[in-house]
Amino acid sequence: MSEIKATHLSTAIFKDTPHKVDVRQMYSQLDAQAMHITLQPGESLKPHKTPVDVFFYILEGAPTVHIGDNSTVFTKDTLVESPKEILHYLSNTSNEIARILVVKTPNPQGTTRVL
């Protein structure tokens, strides 16, 4: 019988990233990576490009998702896709915390380019 694997946010590995926001690694295998990002009011990621496709699932709040030249505020329970090698980032201009699940597939073997 196989073991059930689970990761609770409180025990997830904190990732020190160039973005300097709360990023926790929830899952990391060759086929995918899942990170939990918490953005306090006024916080944002730095604009960057990833070598793999990404999607953002909004768990809480109303962050702005910037992809290419487009910027849109999305609310809870919305999934937003971002193709590889496209400039993107998240920002929180609201007065409430925003929590986002970020999934990259496959798990990037190359580096993310912060611009």
pLDDT in tens, 40-87: 999 999 999 999 999 999 999 999 999 999 999 999 999 999 999 999
Rg of the chain over all Cα atoms, to the nearest angstrom: 14
The yes-or-no verdict on residue 110 having pLDDT over 70 is no
Examine residue 35 and state whether it is found in any structural domain, yes or no: yes
- Domain of residue 32: give its range: 9-114
Examine residue 3 and state whether it is found in any structural domain, yes or no: no
pTM of the predicted structure, to 2 decimals = 0.90
pLDDT tens readout for residues 4-18: 999 999 999 999 988
Examine residue 83 and state whether it is found in any structural domain, yes or no: yes
User: CATH number for the domain including 78?
Assistant: 2.60.120.10
Examine residue 13 and state whether it is found in any structural domain, yes or no: yes
Residue 33: closest CA among 105, 86, 98, 88: 105
First-to-final CA distance of the chain: 47
Total residue length of the chain? 115
In the chain, the number of structural domains is 1
Report the SS3 class of residue 9: helix
Q: Which two tokens stand for residue 100?
A: 């986002």
The yes-or-no verdict on residue 109 having pLDDT over 70 is yes
Examine residue 93 and state whether it is found in any structural domain, yes or no: yes
Residue 39: closest CA among 95, 105, 97: 97
Residue written as token pair 């997830």: 12
Examine residue 1 and state whether it is found in any structural domain, yes or no: no
Query: pLDDT above 90 covers what percent of the chain?
Result: 86
Examine residue 2 and state whether it is found in any structural domain, yes or no: no
Distance in angstroms (rounded) separating the CA atoms of residues 100 and 12: 15
Distance in angstroms (rounded) separating the CA atoms of residues 93 and 43: 8
